[in-house]
Amino acid sequence: MPTQVAPSPEVVGSIAGFQNFGSQRGGSYLGPLVFAGASCIISALIYGLCVRIEPVRTFEESM
């Protein structure tokens, strides 16, 4: 049950989705887990390498 393994009520739907995806792929959760981990790493690399981060300027600094 997703509600028993979820750390908070907000992530129950995500865990249920991963479990459903895993059960449709032959009962193994290794594939969905690897896919989720790879997508997290790829997303972090895109954010770290492609997104330009600039400090927020206050009204006094812009004058």
pLDDT tens digits along 38-58: 988 999 999 889 888 888 888
**59 within a domain of the structure (yes/no):** no
**Cα dihedral 7, 5, 23, 30 in deg (nearest 10):** 70
pLDDT of residue 44: 92
pLDDT of residue 15: 77
- The predicted model scores a pTM of 0.47
- The total number of structural domains in the chain stands at 1
Q: How far apart (Å, rounded) are the C-alpha atoms in residues 9 and 21?
A: 20
- Long-range contacts, 44-48 (Cβ 8 Å, 24+): none
Instruction: Find the domain containing 34 and state its range.
Output: 2-50
- What is the share, in percent, of the chain residues with pLDDT greater than 90? 8
